[in-house]
A = this chain, B = another copy of it.
């Protein structure tokens, strides 16, 4: 690639996702000419400096965004709208604003009054992550073959959308463009509900009698182990996701709770047919996942 996607690219809030983007940019120096990394936390900036992940590393966020052709917010979902509101007045006309938030509707609603007609807003949600967080947790291949969901604002010009899509393709991701509310329901089902359940079941185990709790930890079979892996994720990030996608999440949680109650009833009444049907569905979905090469 001879022409860079952006002259000056700015990441604000480099944690797991942001630092993975930066690492990938370092492996492919032609993508952007200059990298600015900004954060309010001096400890984060120090780590970015040690890892050599930015050309300019600063806590002066207005100055950082003023020079950028693209600003990517990698802050927790609850901070996206406030931070965007703060930086938008400083951004260059024509520069693109993007973020990597996991929920959309509440962010878009909060951001709408602050948006400028000369700043295209093209958020992108890379469906990738681990249970670890912070700038040291990132790695350059995090987005390889993972989906990245773009939910561009209605007013965003096609050129800006194409540029953000090209950027994420360069990160290794597969692109899908979709409507804000559709995005939120899909993510509530495939990611937010499983996390809510994982956090909850760990809490349930934690309230068992003292002696039993110790044994639960001793004997955690694979079932419980898998649940605790995703339950080890960052509390602030997930608090924000739950609060910012509450409608869609409570909707799928309600469906799930009804399904769990139906399963409990089947077990209580010895209804073998319903039990086997529910289990067989799991196998079918698993098979579909394998066919989609996501497993």
Which of A189, A215, A264, A272 has the most CB atoms of chain B within a 10 A radius of its CB? A189
Q: A161 at interface (Cβ–Cβ under 8 A)?
A: no
Q: A112 at interface (Cβ–Cβ under 8 A)?
A: no
Please determine whether B278 and A199 come into contact, CB atoms closer than 8 angstroms: yes
Q: A31 at interface (Cβ–Cβ under 8 A)?
A: no
- Given the interface pairs A204-B255, A257-B260, the reply to whether A232 lies near B282 with Cβ below 8 Å is yes
- Given the interface pairs A204-B256, A285-B228, the reply to whether A219 lies near B263 with Cβ below 8 Å is no
Output the least CB separation between A180 and chain B (Å): 14
Q: A212 at interface (Cβ–Cβ under 8 A)?
A: yes
Please determine whether B217 and A294 come into contact, CB atoms closer than 8 angstroms: yes
Q: Within 8 Å CB of A149, what residues of B?
A: 219
Please determine whether B204 and A219 come into contact, CB atoms closer than 8 angstroms: no
Q: Within 8 Å CB of A252, what residues of B?
A: 204
For this complex, 8 residue pairs linking A to B, each with C-beta atoms less than 8 Å apart, are A127-B219, A196-B263, A198-B223, A218-B294, A226-B229, A228-B289, A243-B272, A243-B275
